[in-house]
A = this chain, B = another copy of it.
Amino acid sequence: MTPSYHHGDLKTVLLAYARAQMENVSIDGLSMREIAKAVGVSHTAAYRHFTDKRALLDAVAVQGFEELRQACQAAADDVAAEDAADDARARLKACGLAYVRFALASPRLLAHMFIAVSDAQASAALMSAGAQLFEVLCMRVAEGQERGVFRSADTRQLSHACWALVHGLSTLLGAGLLKGDANPHGEAMDSAGQAIDTFLDGLVDHSARK
């Protein structure tokens, strides 16, 4: 792609820069003019691809949700699917850890995603991207229930609890708020793993225990 009047890939490049800048600096202070300038294009060119600033920021959020969903899905799929009873548990845990990993890598993007999706007038695409993420978690919980590993309460209710734990861990770890104790640095994932295990101990079907 030779440098030319027509950029050819501007939309992708704008999104990539917006995401990077949001992560490296801050969500506020990210302006259409700055993005365009950094990308080497006139400050109105972006309007050829996004109706307004909100559309661009929403697109970044949608992309984030999609990426996070894939990471969670892939992490769960990577856990060998033998018939061992604890398999479903391991898959759910892997899923949660992937979520936390994403948050540690991109804390501000995660924050932006949830601010965007919780806006009263969020776009359908955004809502759907968020819902699909939740579905991945939900399916893992359902799987565990089917195999009799998890208690048989309402699946979505249990999934909400899982999501909350993992999202809370992600937010707090991503914000650096769980440091300084037994967790000086780099041990964030370990800490998250322990928290998830504690929670999963509560999720198991106690009636089925020996």
Contact = CB atoms under 8 A, between A and B. Distances in A.
Interface in A162-180: 163-172, 174-178
A82 interface: no
A156 B181 contact: yes
A195 interface: yes
B164 A168 contact: yes
A169 B168 contact: yes
A199 B163 CA distance: 12
Contacts of A118: 174-177
Most chain B CB within 10 A, of A154, A163, A174, A177, is at A177
Contact of A167 (B130, B134, B168): B168
Interface of A: 28, 111, 114-115, 117-118, 130, 134, 151, 153-154, 156-158, 160-161, 163-172, 174-178, 181-183, 191, 194-195, 198-203, 206
Given A114-B177, A163-B172, A163-B178, 17 more contacts: A118-B174, A118-B175, A118-B176, A118-B177, A156-B182, A160-B172, A160-B183, A160-B191, A160-B195, A161-B169, A161-B199, A163-B168, A164-B178, A165-B168, A165-B199, A168-B168, A201-B206
